[in-house]
């Protein structure tokens, strides 16, 4: 018996979801890297009154998405193709099937 709302997926479907989401994160990382490089090229600095560093913020987002892509690629590469997988809402959120917004 399964308690709560969970989804059972075959390994091929899960593999494809992992790869699609990894591709999304790779594209986001590239976007942030391009934006940060553009700011570095024109010597953009944070404003003194906020203490913000927009380049650092963009580089942090780049690393965040790069890590997410690498994690999903690793998961996809290590799935047991003969198994089915039981996914929770958190898993679906990580795979981009649902958003992080509360409903």
Q: Where do the domains of the chain lie?
A: 7-94
Residue 49 has pLDDT above 90, yes or no: no
What is the DSSP secondary structure assignment for residue 94, as one 8-state letter? Answer: H
More confident residue, 46 or 1: 1
Instruction: Please check the confidence at residue 51 and state whether its pLDDT lies above 90.
Output: no
- Comparison of pLDDT for 50 and 91, the residue scoring more: 91
pLDDT of 83 reads 95
Which long-range CB contacts under 8 A does 64-69 form with residues at least 24 apart? 65/25, 65/26, 65/28, 65/29, 65/32, 66/25, 66/26, 66/29, 68/21, 68/22, 68/25, 69/22, 69/23, 69/25, 69/26, 69/29
Average pLDDT score over residue span 49-67: 86
pLDDT score, position 1: 74
Provide the mean pLDDT of the chain. 89
Question: With bands split at pLDDT 50, 70 and 90, how would you rate the model's confidence at 26?
Answer: very high
């Amino acid at each position: 018996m399964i308690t709560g709302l969970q989804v059972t997926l075959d390994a091929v479907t899960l593999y494809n979801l992992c790869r699609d989401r990894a591709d999304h994160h790779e594209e986001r990382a590239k976007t942030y890297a391009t934006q940060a490089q553009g700011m570095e090229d024109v010597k953009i600095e944070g404003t003194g009154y906020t203490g913000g560093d927009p380049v650092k913020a963009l580089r942090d987002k780049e690393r965040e998405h790069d890590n997410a892509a690498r994690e999903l690629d690793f998961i996809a590469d290590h799935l047991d193709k003969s198994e089915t997988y039981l996914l929770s809402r958190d898993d679906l959120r990580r795979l981009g099937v649902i958003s992080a917004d509360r409903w």
